[in-house]
């Protein structure tokens, strides 16, 4: 797969406990990204956060440690990411999505 030098990064900020179709939302997003032919996606688990409700989530507070922040990050052609975002928009009940331009220097994989 080829990625244009001028691409975009889509970041979707959600909580680990968010669910869709009986599975974690972040996992559902990975599957949908692959189905839409995106170049790839990465899930990052945060160690602490607060958001719209100003409630601090941290691994140090046991009652909140199972609801840590999660970021699903994808880099691809801007139009492909916009189309993907339009497709998954209704599945995200609470969260934040951002998109910004990035410059792709290389996109390689090891030969299998």
Q: What is the pLDDT of residues 59-79, one digit of tens each?
A: 665 554 567 889 999 999 999
Share of the chain above pLDDT 70, in %: 84
Q: What is the pLDDT of residues 80-92, one digit of tens each?
A: 999 999 999 999 9
Domains of the chain: 19-103 (3.30.70.120)
DSSP for the chain, written as a single string: ----SEEEEEEEEEETT-EETTEEHHHHHHHHHHHTT-S-EEEEE-SEE--TT---EETTSGGGTTS-EEEEEEEE-HHHHHHHHHHHGGG-SS-EEEEEEEE---------
Among 18-22, 27-31, 55-59, 107-111, which is the least confidently predicted range? 55-59
What's the predicted TM-score (pTM) here?
0.85
Supply the pLDDT for residue 1: 76
Q: Has residue 32 got a pLDDT over 90?
A: yes
């Amino acid at each position: 797969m080829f990625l244009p030098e001028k691409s975009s990064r889509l970041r979707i900020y959600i909580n680990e406990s968010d669910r869709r179709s009986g599975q974690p939302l972040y996992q559902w997003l990975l599957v949908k990204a692959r189905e839409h032919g995106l170049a790839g996606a990465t899930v990052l688990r945060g160690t602490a956060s607060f958001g719209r409700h100003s409630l601090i989530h941290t691994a140090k507070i046991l009652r909140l440690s199972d609801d840590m922040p999660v970021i699903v990050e994808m880099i691809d052609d801007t139009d492909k990411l916009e189309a993907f975002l339009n497709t998954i928009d209704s599945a995200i009940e609470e969260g934040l999505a951002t998109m910004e331009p990035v410059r792709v220097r290389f996109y390689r994989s090891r030969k299998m």
